[in-house]
Amino acid sequence: MSNKIFVLSKKCLFADHINLCLKESSLESETNTTLPLSYEPSVAIINLLNYDEDIEKQCDEVLESDIKKVILLENALDLYLNSKNDIPFSVYTKIIPKNKICEKHLSIEKKIVESKKKYVIFRVSEIYGLSTPYSLVDQLLFANDGVEFENSTHDFIYDGDVISAIEVSLRKEVSGIFDIASGCSIDLKDLVELIKKMRKIKELFINWKRKRKNIVFNCENFKFYKWEPLVNIETGLQTLLSFRRKSHVKLFSSEHS
């Protein structure tokens, strides 16, 4: 594929990871916070996984440009948890916003859908991995005794699986709105037990708060394009733990005793 790809994103490790993986797949890519002046991209990947007002403003410029295809990455929880809808959620549900967070996401989606460009909108579940050091999984992996978390069910997806979905959408004729998730939910209490086993510690005392809504994602409509998440939570945790240890991340004192 000879298309030049522009990744519109604030500076972050995940945007750099997207760019690197696309180049390793022989795709010409560049990342920046504004539209490039040095060349004319044909595809724009807009990273709004962590909402940024400046990036949102740049979305309008992307849609007014000669870019042929737009791929939007957004945080599905920002959309679904800030709606008035009841569970289960899906891309086929008409979302009713209850606050401005949800309204902003729906507004961006609407602009993209109503543009004359080809588009793919990925509503991504909770992403974790080597390029997302502030994820909830990382917080639990290196939590101290007594920290507070909501005891709820989550769908965690590995960063590499999100990038593989992007690559599928670049190489195939894909169009529409899709949930991108692992499809395997896990309760945070079960995740903590898994972490304790991997770190070989007997106790980790978490102050569990009330449950929030448990969201179960359905990514079957994107699997139609031969995409599958390949990294399960056990493999992802082990990879992340090994990488963080090698990066000299400070772990619990009990782990070094």
Each residue's pLDDT tens digit, 15-52? 999 999 999 988 888 888 888 767 788 999 999 998 88
pLDDT of residue 229: 92
pLDDT of residue 256: 42
Judging by beta carbons within 10 Å of its beta carbon (0-12, 13-18, 19+), is residue 26 exposed, middle or buried?
exposed
71 phi and psi, to 5 degrees?
-120, 115
Lowest mean per-residue pLDDT among 36-50, 101-115, 149-163 = 36-50
Contacts of 151 (CB under 8 A, 6+ apart): 187, 188, 189, 208, 209, 210, 211
Asked whether the predicted pLDDT for residue 253 surpasses 50, the reply is no
Spatial CA neighbour of 221 closest among 128, 123, 105: 123
Lowest mean per-residue pLDDT among 1-5, 100-104, 110-114 = 1-5
Residue 102 CA: distances (Å) to CA of 51, 84, 88, 215: 11, 10, 17, 16
Q: Could you tell me the two tokens for 154? A: 């989550």
* 221-235 confidence digits (pLDDT tens): 888 888 999 999 999
pLDDT of residue 89: 74
217 phi and psi, to 5 degrees?
-95, 150
CB atoms within 10 A of CB 36: 13
Q: Work out the pLDDT band at 69, boundaries 50, 70, 90.
A: very high
Residue ranges of domains in the chain, CATH in brackets? 4-249 (3.40.50.720)
| Widest Cα–Cα separation across the chain | 61
pLDDT of residue 158: 97
Q: Work out the pLDDT band at 213, boundaries 50, 70, 90.
A: low
pLDDT of residue 233: 95
pLDDT of residue 212: 66
pLDDT, mean over the chain: 87
pLDDT of residue 52: 86
Asked whether the predicted pLDDT for residue 94 surpasses 70, the reply is yes
Lowest mean per-residue pLDDT among 135-139, 184-188, 212-216, 225-229 = 212-216
- Greater model confidence, 238 or 200: 238
Percent of the chain with pLDDT over 70: 93
SS3 assignment, position 52: coil
Asked whether the predicted pLDDT for residue 65 surpasses 60, the reply is yes
Beta bridge partners of 37: none
